[in-house]
Structure 1
Amino acid sequence: MNPQEPSLPLTTDRLILRAYRESDAEALLPMYSREDVARFLLCDPWTAEESRTEISKRIPKTGLSTESRALSLVIETKDGLDDIEGSIIIGDLGIWLNGESSEKAEIGWVLNPAAGGHGFASEAATAVLNIAFDHYRLNRVVAQMDARNTASARLAKRIGMRQEAHLRQDWWSKGEWTDTLVYGILHSDRQQA
């Protein structure tokens, strides 16, 4: 693994992927407090206090070579995009090392439903996969999700991940047994951004 962390922010054609700051607690609260967003997450909808706590946990996650072994990023649109005034936060994503290995990681994302359908999540996730494989030299990245989260499953497929498992009733979440889908992508079969 490359001991140097990638320069932040990461930029794509339409997005800025940057490290968290304290002010993101207020900016992300309207998204994470929504029932429809939290439905498939491991957490309940956030309160203002939970938002501050969660963001403070993500601020130090600045790279896979750091003590946190994780990279957590806010997804912001670039200024000047059609139909979007100014730069706005539309979600977040993260990648973290699995277990003791420095060659396998898991990726996860949350996008504001209002920003869906424009390819922003694919653009952001592909940029992070490129960092994972090109900078960190990972061999494998997985995404695990509630099987009812069809939007997340479609995103995983769009960015070149393959469904590897459908685990039946393997996770107790919010008062019910839920299924988990596991998607994976290897260094050898990834897409380039």
Structure 2
Amino acid sequence: MEPLELPLTTDRLRLRTYVESDAEAQLPIFSREDVARFLLEDSWTAEVARTKIVERMRRTGLETESRALALVIETADGLDDIAGSHVIGNISLWFDSDSQEKAEIGWILDPAAGGHGFATEAAIAVLNVAFDHYGLHRVVAQMDARNTSSAKLARRIGMREEAHLRKDWWSKGEWTDTLIFGMLSTDRQTA
């Protein structure tokens, strides 16, 4: 498997690997209670941010020892409505088992950047990499069923809801439901 040429660029975004300064850039997003609510981890502190970013700096491709690709989503320079380049979230792709044909995708976007199609643009770019570069057969996305924004995004990019698992995950003091979406390489008419 050949290394992926990075950064990925779309019309309005640059998806790049992590650097140390991303701890400071991502902290305002991950420290928000409304963002952390649906994640498997608590809100970040500055110390947690530094640790998480160091972990993510190693996730540079499915072909690497990490078996994962973690990318920072930032707006491209020169957008009319946004001055300069801003970190607005992240998106990751990782092998979900020993298989080299199936992976999971996950995304987190700053709520302040929502409603502009940025998450859709980033997710389609990463799905294209998953199927075109890595030749994957299947990509899944799993999320807390209460995370309606994430579920809408999965549907918007052409993923199919395959399961609604009831009260299957103990998270932050309560049982929560999980939604599982999937996309096969042959489903990509909409992605």
Fold similarity call, TM over 0.5: yes
Distance 1:192 1:11, change over 3 A: farther
Task: Give runs of aligned pairs for residues 125-164 of structure 1, distance below 5 A.
Answer: 125-164=123-162
1:17-36 matches, cutoff 5 A: 17-36=15-34
Paired residue for 1:14? 12
CA distance in 2 between counterparts of 1:123 and 1:74 reads: 13
What SS class does the counterpart of residue 5 from structure 2 fall into? coil
Preserved CA contact (<8 Å) 2:139 2:184: yes
Contact 1:104/1:138 (<8 A) preserved: yes
The equivalent of 1:45 in structure 2 is: 43
Q: TM-score, normalised by structure 2?
A: 0.99
Unaligned runs of 5+ in 2: none
Residues 158 and 190, structure 2, Cα contact 8 Å, conserved in 1: no
- How far apart in 1 are the matches of 2:189 and 2:9? 17
Instruction: Tell me which residue corresponds to 1:60.
Output: 58
Query: TM-score, structure 1 length as denominator?
Result: 0.98
Q: What is the CA RMSD across the aligned residues, in angstroms?
A: 0.8
Trace 1:151-190 onto structure 2 (pairs within 5 A): 151-190=149-188
Q: Which residue of 2 aligns with 1:77?
A: 75
Q: Secondary structure at the residue paired with 1:87? A: coil
What is the CA distance between 1:191 and its match in structure 2?
Answer: 3.9
Equivalent residue pairs, number: 191
Moved more, 80-89 or 67-76: 80-89
SS in 2 for 1:182: strand
Give the structure 1 partner of residue 2 of structure 2: 4
Cα distance between partner residues in 2 of 1:5 and 1:173:
36
Instruction: Name the % identity.
Output: 72
| Alpha-carbon distance change, 22 to 191 in structure 1, aligned in 2, over 3 angstroms | farther
Counterpart in 2 of 1:106?
104
